[in-house]
Amino acid sequence: MLDAIVAVVVVLLITTGMLIILGPRNVLSRIASIRRPNGVNALFEPRRPPQVVSRAVNPKTQRVLLAAARLANWLRTHGQDEASKDIRNSAARMAGNEPAGLYALQTTLRRMRVVNVTDSAEQERLTALVTELQSAVRDRFEQLELLPFRRP
């Protein structure tokens, strides 16, 4: 019997302490903010997942990412997996830190000059893709004013 009385007093003290900490206005507003379901069907409907809003990407950044994806896909289909992975990793860095990703792409493009293909049509396509990516990176560098470039 004494144990029950002590338990009730402890619960009352803890509840009173929590109410004092929260304050009367917070408790009333929290109770009022609890939404009640609209009928029984609302209890059984699955909740919609929260919509993920992606951040807006600058058009020139999109151009860089698109050119990098094209070049990486072409390299992967032609057996240049390491170079493809380097370009994809550099482009992925742009999501978190755009200048670091641009510098990484520029470094990777400098290493790309050693890739040679025996077929002349494929070599021309590779050259066009690399040139497209280089010009996109250069334009974005100029827009961000990271490096002074001169047009030839």
pLDDT value of residue 152:
47
Average pLDDT of the chain is 81
d(CA 114, CA 110): 9
pLDDT value of residue 148:
54
φ, ψ (nearest 5 deg) of residue 35 = -85, 140
In the predicted structure, residue 26 carries a pLDDT above the cut 80: no
Which pLDDT band, with edges at 50, 70 and 90, does 68 fall under?
very high
Which pLDDT band, with edges at 50, 70 and 90, does 10 fall under?
very high
Region 61-87: mean pLDDT is 90
- For residue 75 the two structure tokens come to 């390299």
pLDDT value of residue 1:
87
pLDDT value of residue 114:
58
Region 20-35: mean pLDDT is 70
Report helix, strand or coil for 120.
helix
pLDDT value of residue 121:
85
pLDDT value of residue 52:
66
Model pTM above 0.75: no
- Residues whose CB is less than 8 angstroms from the CB of residue 93 and which lie 6 or more positions away in sequence, other chains included: 100, 101, 104
